[in-house]
Amino acid sequence: MTSASQSSVINKTSGFISTYPLTPIGSTESILFEESQNNKLKNYVENSTVKNFLYNKLIQLNPEYDECSPFYICDIGEIKRQLKLWKSELNFIQPYYAVKCNPNPDFVKMLIQIGNIGFDCASQNEIKTVFKAHQDLGLNINTENLIYANPIKPIYQLKFANSLNVNLTTIDSIEEIEKIYKFTDGNMNVLIRITTDDSSATCPLSIKFGSDVKYSKKIVDKCIELGINIRGIAFHCGSGFKDSKTIIKAVKDSRDVWNYINKNQFNKCDILDVGGGFSKENFIYPAKILNNEIQKFYGNELLNNNIKIISELGRFLSASCFTLAVNVIGVRKEIDSNKTRVYLNDGLYGNLNCILFDHQEVEPKVLTSYGKYVYNDNINNSNSNNNNEMNQYSIWGPTCDGLDCIKAKTTLSHDVKTGDWIGFENAGAYTNAAATNFNGFTNEFECTFIDTDI
């Protein structure tokens, strides 16, 4: 497998090694990217941990004078650990980071620098993010390591991808094949995205995407009729999938369609895309199942080294790398009860949209209590809540919408007042990616990088 950071690409059909420039020649958009930036991270703090960084930052901020906007810390060490974990179980599957999960440009750059990473882009802007990251790092891009993994593409974005030589995409309908034929002169390779039974996943995707085995074979026939090159199969077991039986059926179904393609198309399939859906918490067991099924159904191809298997990893790579810190902007004690409402400067319309869109359960961690730094502090102090009569809190975002409720009922390790800080760990997946500026609150957040694995 070639690395995303290598400047050359082996053309599958010709076998020639060619490089592809970052600025598309003859593209309708001749000036794509701004001036290249220095490849150093803007915000990088050496020799720190999340806890130390937060301590040093929070003691400098005074809520009476400073804005105290929400901010992120990203631990590069955690990216390395997650990639190591992936390799320990599924070394033969190349990660393609699903940019949608967290498109932070510096995070994308880190992934390019650290790992043998490809990218799953679902739109023109995500493609631009990946190209720009390579440009900033002074690297040519190997477009073989990009997949435009959206089965339904706007025509102008399809043409844009094609003009950049991003010529691998997923499809799940005959209509999309006709679109590709018409608007790329057939110059786009495809993976057929099959449906999976992902009904038990936190975020099922097959409700919207994928074709069943029978329809997939009709799509194959259409591709062959129009001369569109099929390189293989893609599936996704649902984001946050729980039932590993989904994997077993998906791999089996993929082989069924794979065989049909190989029987009818002159070029043999050579890419299997097993999608995303893994998380740090749910990895080892499903990875073993996936490994097992792939050996069972694609063992020959693996043995003969004529298959590339990729995985569109989103939350597995990004979730645990980020911690979010938010400020308490108001507190209201309920009269005649031990309940307290805590209002934060981030919520469901901001980074914590993950509660609504991604069905995440978040756990607020008190970082400061009455101005004292208490993150991960087990020591009793006057404001700690480690007795049985813990106060009940509800936690709210800053907007004027009653929907903006982060936690309807929770406990906190320590009491908080206006100006204190609350943290959310594992905040890197589907958070800032979909934050809005509803009610005039910002959706641009500072992110500082540290590395706990040097």
Ligand X SMILES: Cc1ncc(COP(=O)(O)O)c(C=O)c1O
Catalytic residues: 400
What residues numbered 219-238 form the site for ligand X, per CB under 6 A?
236
Q: Residues 202, 239: contact at Cβ < 8 Å?
A: yes
- Under the binding rule (CB under 6 A), the answer on residue 94 touching ligand X is no
What residues numbered 376-395 form the site for ligand X, per CB under 6 A?
none
Q: How far apart are alpha carbons 215 and 194 in whole angstroms?
A: 9
- Under the binding rule (CB under 6 A), the answer on residue 205 touching ligand X is yes
* Residue at 449: amino acid letter: F
Q: Applying CB under 6 A, what is the total number of residues that bind ligand X?
A: 16
- Under the binding rule (CB under 6 A), the answer on residue 98 touching ligand X is yes
Residue corresponding to tokens 């043998």: 116
Beta-strand relationship, 368-369 and 118-121: unpaired
Q: Which of 239, 246, 254, 327 binds ligand X (CB under 6 A)?
A: 239
Burial (CB count <10 Å: 0-12, 13-18, 19+), residue 388 = exposed
Q: How far apart are alpha carbons 406 and 54 in whole angstroms?
A: 22
- Under the binding rule (CB under 6 A), the answer on residue 451 touching ligand X is no
- Under the binding rule (CB under 6 A), the answer on residue 101 touching ligand X is yes
Q: Residues 320, 78: contact at Cβ < 8 Å?
A: yes
Q: Which of 73, 192, 250, 313 binds ligand X (CB under 6 A)?
A: 313
Site string for ligand X, 159-198 (x = CB under 6 A): ----------------------------------------
Q: How far is the CB of 396 from ligand X (least distance, A)?
A: 27
Stretch in the footprint of ligand X (CB under 6 A) among 4-12, 85-93, 110-118, 310-318: 310-318
| Closer residue to ligand X in complex, CB, 24/275 | 275
What residues numbered 388-427 form the site for ligand X, per CB under 6 A?
none
- Under the binding rule (CB under 6 A), the answer on residue 149 touching ligand X is yes
> Residue 207 CB: number of other CB atoms within 10 A?
11
Q: Which of 115, 118, 204, 314 binds ligand X (CB under 6 A)?
A: 314
Residue 325's nearest CA partner among 367, 360, 378 is 367
Residue 240's nearest CA partner among 208, 198, 272, 206 is 198
- Under the binding rule (CB under 6 A), the answer on residue 210 touching ligand X is no
> Residue 10 CB: number of other CB atoms within 10 A?
12
| Closer residue to ligand X in complex, CB, 109/315 | 315
Beta-strand relationship, 365-366 and 368-369: unpaired
> Could you tell me if residue 363 is left (phi over 0), alpha (psi between -120 and 50 degrees) or otherwise beta?
beta
| Closer residue to ligand X in complex, CB, 317/366 | 317
| Closer residue to ligand X in complex, CB, 58/352 | 352
Q: Residues 206, 216: contact at Cβ < 8 Å?
A: no
- Under the binding rule (CB under 6 A), the answer on residue 153 touching ligand X is no
Q: How far is the CB of 443 from ligand X (least distance, A)?
A: 20
Q: Which of 24, 275, 350, 419 binds ligand X (CB under 6 A)?
A: 275
Listing DSSP states for 94-110 in one string gives EEEEEGGG---HHHHHH
| Closer residue to ligand X in complex, CB, 312/346 | 312
Q: How far is the CB of 207 from ligand X (least distance, A)?
A: 12
- Under the binding rule (CB under 6 A), the answer on residue 271 touching ligand X is no
> In angstroms, what is the C-alpha Rg of the chain?
24
Q: What is the dihedral of CA 219, 220, 222, 225, to 10 degrees?
A: 180
| Closer residue to ligand X in complex, CB, 240/397 | 240
Give the footprint of ligand X on this chain (CB under 6 A).
98, 101, 120, 149, 205, 236, 239-240, 275-277, 312-316
